[in-house]
Amino acid sequence: GQPFIYQGFNEHGGWMHTSSQADISDAYIEKLIKKNGRWFYEYDGNLKPVIKKKISIKIKNADDGFETKIFTALFTHHGPIMAKRNGQYLSLRHNNRDTKGFMQSWLRTKTKSFADFKATMDMGTNPSNNTVYADAEGNIAYWHGNFLPKRDAKYDWSKPVDGTTHATEWQGYHTVDESVHIYNPKNGWLQNCNSTPFTAAGKFSPKKSDYANYLAPDGENFRGINAVRVLDEEKKYDLAKVIKAGYDTKLAAFEVLVPALISSFEKNISVNDSLFTPLREAIAVLKNWDYRCSENSVATTLAVMWGEKLPPLISKVKGTDDQVEKTKYFAANATVDELVYPMLAVIKDLKTNFGNWQIAWGEINRFQRIYNDIENKFDDSQPGIPVAFASSTWGMLPSYSSRTYPGTKKRYGYHGNSFICAVEFGKKIKAKSLLAGGESGNPNSKHFFDQGTMYSKGVFKDVLFYKEDVLQHAEKNYHPGE
């Protein structure tokens, strides 16, 4: 949905953006006072007039026409008053009107060298993303965030700050050199999975202690842990090895969670316990599992459906926002009720829906594209493709999230990788890519779902980068005006 190329490449280099928790905006607690019918706000001991603006928005009405609604918005010099919480007015400061951001996005596509690309990064106007980079010169690089306001580090910028004092004002902007970044680490690879930059290059990553907390508050996730493990196993990559690494099937989160379940069962559930017989065989299946998902794996079905019942319990862990640390703490301290009873519920659900609990993951984890509606619709009676993959929540590198829908007992993919691409830079571009389903949005087109099986297996197609390749494979030619 971004109005710029989120992941792309030209003949000289390529980039991929990931999402970041780098702090790019702030909420200010404003002290508003009304005098003689006018609003003022306190700042450094003085009262300053609140700015009023009329904002008109066109909305659709019941008659398929439009009507205009006018809102009166209040502003301080920080920005608009966005909310009132616990009796406090909150304003928001954010960089949301920057033409230079579009310029940076456009110029990025025209770069021909590492120096060119760094020059676009120096514009510092990308407010929402990290950037992973590689080029034909042999460079790799990573930048965590880009638009990064400078602040007094003694304040907790993850929460609203006092808006009545100049001490909380932004103090300019960090240069790219001051941001968390890595150029050409010795290990020869970089990764980011919407996670901390402090593991982006394994042991060659930046050190957290060298940076203000607000520059990279991101925690680790199991996908990042798996990526570091996988990438460190190979010393010399080519295109095929990159794709193979990107399709590693280990679900790293269950290396933490499943042993906790097994241990709890073995220590607390005796042969005479009413829970022993219903769970004994399922626990044995998980005990022999290698934590890799596959179409024929019953263990994957049990683990994923059990794991999906745990987030409300894991979220209660206090003291850290790091998902990996939360999960480890939960696994080490969970009660038998918190671990064992959710698995009993999974067994019952599987028996109710399918007659038994020994269900292979691919039997119920499906990929289906039968409609082109914005709101997904799925049908158990229609053909679907079995999928081995599971959610990146569990550490899977190729992300594929599925769930049941109204009227279905099987699960259908609704979220995950929609465009995947591997690129090798050199004298000529070599690249392979994959789409979720197909190129066409027309259900009657042969290209509506012709990549479905390829997607489910991780089988990539060649990217037609050069004009001669496109013309050679063209099914139809068209010239504007014809």
What is the sign of the dihedral through the CA atoms of 251, 257, 261 and 264?
positive
Backbone angles phi, psi at 301, to 5 degrees: -60, -50
Report the SS3 class of residue 66. Answer: strand
DSSP state of 206: P
C-beta separation of 157 from 29 below 8 A? no
Give residue 1's pLDDT. 56
Q: In what order do the strands lie in the sheet with 26-30?
A: 51-60, 66-76, 79-85, 88-93, 26-30, 161-162
Q: Which two tokens stand for residue 338?
A: 């918190």
Q: How far apart are the first and last CA of the chain?
A: 31
Report the SS3 class of residue 254. Answer: helix
Q: How far apart are CA 322 and CA 311, in angstroms?
A: 13
Give residue 96's pLDDT. 73
DSSP state of 194: S
CA 38 to chain centre: 45
pLDDT tens string 61-95: 888 889 999 999 999 999 999 999 999 999 999 98
Q: What is the mean pLDDT of each run of 10 residues along the chain (482 residues)?
A: 85 95 94 94 97 94 89 96 94 86 94 97 90 97 96 94 97 96 96 96 96 93 96 93 94 98 95 93 97 97 98 93 95 96 96 97 96 90 96 93 96 92 95 93 94 94 96 93 86
Q: pTM here?
A: 0.91
Please identify which residue in the block is written with the tokens 């230079």.
100
Q: Which of 465, 389, 388, 477 is nearest to 427 (CA)?
A: 465
pLDDT tens string 188-206: 999 999 999 999 999 999 9
